[in-house]
């Protein structure tokens, strides 16, 4: 084996006297792609922040090409170690080329050489096979394009080791494929690429080696091909997971929700009709822009539309989410941080946010609110030190369980989940699926699940509606719910 380009020995890290990394040894070889996996709180991001100079370990040493180094963020960048965080570090009000060379501007005499920076950016765009205008404002770009701007920033700094934290969390399948093409090209040019990800299928498909962390310890490092997805997941959680997905429920014949000829005013959704039965999980699959989220927003009154909606056989008019809630319909949005949680607010207040009348006469009764949260904390296994801690301090999976608690507390019997396990680790995913199954079994809750994750759609749903260009391309059930059919209908290779 060749000498590692980056190594760490005996890395320990403490936060507020609590040890979060325990004696970690790790090696990264040149021209390889590494997947770093583990549950939320396993220490993945913390370790990568140590390796990129953002955190100083309390113990241990870091070596670059065999030489011991002391890192801070600036020194790490100078040495070619670049971290692209999950929350991208771009200036939205600046243009693409300005972001690419921010802090690293090309100068001509005493002036910034704008033309040269644009030329260089165009070279990077061509090299990466992108379709981006270097003069575009970053605020106008898609999440995938912003990710590529971060990669161009890294290339401009002569990157040797590129660390990417959850780079695919908000990308479509097509955008993920493009990102992986870029990663493979970087590997061929001698760059080491490190992916932190929850998505085991992606990690299996792109990485040469796997590093598995659990509770701040490295529990395994091996060639990726040596392990199945199930084995990886079990090493992450430290136990046998059994079946990832519960048995699919048998829905009743009662129609819980019926939509007829829904067309949104902006025509993102065109003439869509469907039924969902009580106790059913109805999935919606499609590419970005297919109209899935826009359809859900129309149903709950966030988007103006024509057409008819009936709830348990009664035609209704829903003009806002409050009216939807009164009819027993609640919506879990796709962007948890933007629209789901209020991160600085206490956990128990996030739980009761949609049901405040239940907890007040003249003033809110905090004691009752806390008791309500504790019920869900026990039932949903929400890991939190205190009901009073800000919800933003929880892991992604626990935040999502808090949002689900909020919806259930309203008494809703039709729950619309948009990307319910985005940014959630494998164990929390399993728990969310079990929560859904239990709610169907005990409360006969009806679920509509919008998801871009094929295994989730296939494993959970009784039926799946595939959307394309704002219309229904197909409705499939039983053995027809498979990866081939879903992709075919979503892309237009099959269907009208």
Regarding whether 169 and 126 lie in a shared domain, the answer is no
Average pLDDT over residues 144-167: 89
Question: Roughly how many angstroms between the first and final C-alpha of the chain, as a whole number?
Answer: 53
**Does residue 248 lie in a domain region?**
no
SS3 67: strand
Task: Considering only residues 10 and 40, tell me which one the structure prediction assigns the higher pLDDT.
Answer: 10
**Does residue 39 lie in a domain region?**
yes
Regarding whether 128 and 149 lie in a shared domain, the answer is yes
* Residues sharing a CB contact under 8 Å with residue 15, sequence separation 6 or more, in sequence order: none
For residues 141 and 132, the answer to whether their CB atoms sit within 8 Å is yes
Regarding whether 164 and 137 lie in a shared domain, the answer is no
**Does residue 256 lie in a domain region?**
no
Q: At residue 232, what are phi and psi to the nearest 5 degrees?
A: -60, -50
Regarding whether 164 and 138 lie in a shared domain, the answer is no
**Does residue 274 lie in a domain region?**
no
pLDDT of res. 496: 47
Regarding whether 459 and 335 lie in a shared domain, the answer is yes
pLDDT of res. 109: 84
Instruction: Summarize pLDDT for 361-382 with one digit per residue, the tens.
Output: 777 778 888 888 899 889 899 9
Q: Which residue, of 135, 157, 179, is where some domain finishes?
A: 157
Regarding whether 146 and 16 lie in a shared domain, the answer is no
CATH code at position 198:
3.40.50.300
Regarding whether 189 and 132 lie in a shared domain, the answer is no
Question: How high does pLDDT run on average in the chain?
Answer: 90
Regarding whether 101 and 12 lie in a shared domain, the answer is no
Regarding whether 215 and 360 lie in a shared domain, the answer is no
Number of domains forming the structure of the chain? 3
Regarding whether 111 and 1 lie in a shared domain, the answer is no
**Does residue 265 lie in a domain region?**
no
Instruction: Summarize pLDDT for 66-93 with one digit per residue, the tens.
Output: 999 999 999 999 999 999 988 888 999 9
Q: Which residue, of 116, 138, 157, is where some domain finishes?
A: 157
Q: Which residue, of 130, 157, 184, is where some domain finishes?
A: 157
| Residue in this structure with the two tokens 């084995």, named with its chain if needed | 231
Average pLDDT over residues 334-360: 79
**Does residue 361 lie in a domain region?**
yes
Range of the domain at 210: 1-80+159-242
**Does residue 420 lie in a domain region?**
yes
Q: Is 48 a residue whose pLDDT tops 90? A: yes
**Does residue 273 lie in a domain region?**
no
| Residue in this structure with the two tokens 């090696």, named with its chain if needed | 27
pLDDT of res. 67: 94
Regarding whether 171 and 31 lie in a shared domain, the answer is yes
Regarding whether 439 and 339 lie in a shared domain, the answer is yes
**Percentage of the residues of the chain whose pLDDT score is greater than 70:** 98
């Amino acid at each position: 084996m060749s000498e590692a380009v980056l190594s760490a020995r005996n890395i320990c890290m403490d936060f507020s006297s609590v040890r979060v990394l325990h004696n970690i040894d790790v090696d990264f070889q040149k021209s390889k792609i590494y997947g770093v996996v583990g549950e939320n709180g396993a220490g993945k991001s913390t370790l990568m922040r140590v390796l990129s100079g953002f955190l100083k370990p309390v113990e241990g040493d870091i070596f670059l090409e065999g030489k011991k180094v002391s890192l801070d963020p600036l020194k790490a960048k100078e040495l070619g170690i670049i971290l692209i965080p999950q929350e991208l570090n771009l200036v939205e009000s600046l243009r693409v080329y300005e972001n690419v060379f921010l802090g690293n501007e090309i100068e001509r005499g005493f002036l910034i050489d704008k033309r040269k920076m644009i030329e260089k950016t165009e070279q990077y765009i061509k090299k990466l096979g992108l379709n981006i205008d270097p003069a575009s404002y970053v605020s106008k770009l898609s999440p995938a394009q912003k990710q590529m701007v971060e990669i161009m920033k890294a290339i401009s700094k002569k990157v040797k080791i590129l660390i990417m934290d959850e780079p695919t969390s908000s990308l479509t399948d097509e955008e993920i494929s493009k990102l992986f093409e870029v990663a493979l090209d970087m590997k061929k040019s001698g760059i080491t690429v490190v992916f932190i990800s929850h998505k085991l299928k992606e990690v299996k498909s792109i990485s040469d080696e796997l590093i598995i962390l659990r509770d701040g310890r490295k529990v395994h490092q091996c060639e990726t091909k040596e392990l199945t997805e199930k084995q990886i997941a079990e090493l992450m959680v430290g136990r046998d997971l059994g079946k990832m997905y519960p048995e699919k429920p048998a829905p009743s014949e009662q129609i819980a929700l019926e939509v007829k000829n829904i067309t949104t005013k902006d025509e993102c959704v065109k003439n869509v009709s469907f039924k969902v039965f009580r106790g059913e999980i109805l999935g919606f699959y499609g590419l970005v822009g297919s109209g899935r989220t826009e359809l859900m927003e129309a149903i709950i009154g966030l988007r103006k539309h024509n057409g008819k909606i009936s709830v348990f056989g009664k035609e209704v008019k829903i003009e806002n989410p409050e009216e939807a809630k009164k009819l027993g319909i609640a919506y879990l949005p796709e962007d948890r941080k933007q629209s789901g949680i209020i991160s600085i607010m206490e956990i128990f207040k996030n739980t009761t946010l949609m049901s405040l009348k239940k907890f007040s006469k003249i003033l809110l009764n905090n004691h009752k609110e806390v008791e309500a949260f504790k019920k869900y904390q026990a039932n949903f296994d929400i890991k939190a030190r205190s009901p009073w801690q800000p919800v933003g301090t929880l892991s992604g999976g626990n935040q999502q369980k808090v949002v689900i608690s909020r919806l259930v507390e309203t008494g809703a019997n039709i729950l619309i989940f948009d990307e319910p396990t985005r940014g959630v680790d494998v164990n929390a995913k399993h728990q969310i699926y079990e929560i859904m199954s239990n709610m169907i079994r005990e409360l006969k809750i009806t679920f509509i699940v919008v998801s871009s994750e094929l295994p989730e759609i296939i494993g959970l749903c009784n039926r799946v509606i595939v959307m394309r260009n704002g219309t229904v391309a197909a409705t499939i059930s039983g053995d027809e719910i498979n990866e081939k059919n879903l992709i075919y209908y979503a892309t237009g290779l099959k269907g009208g």
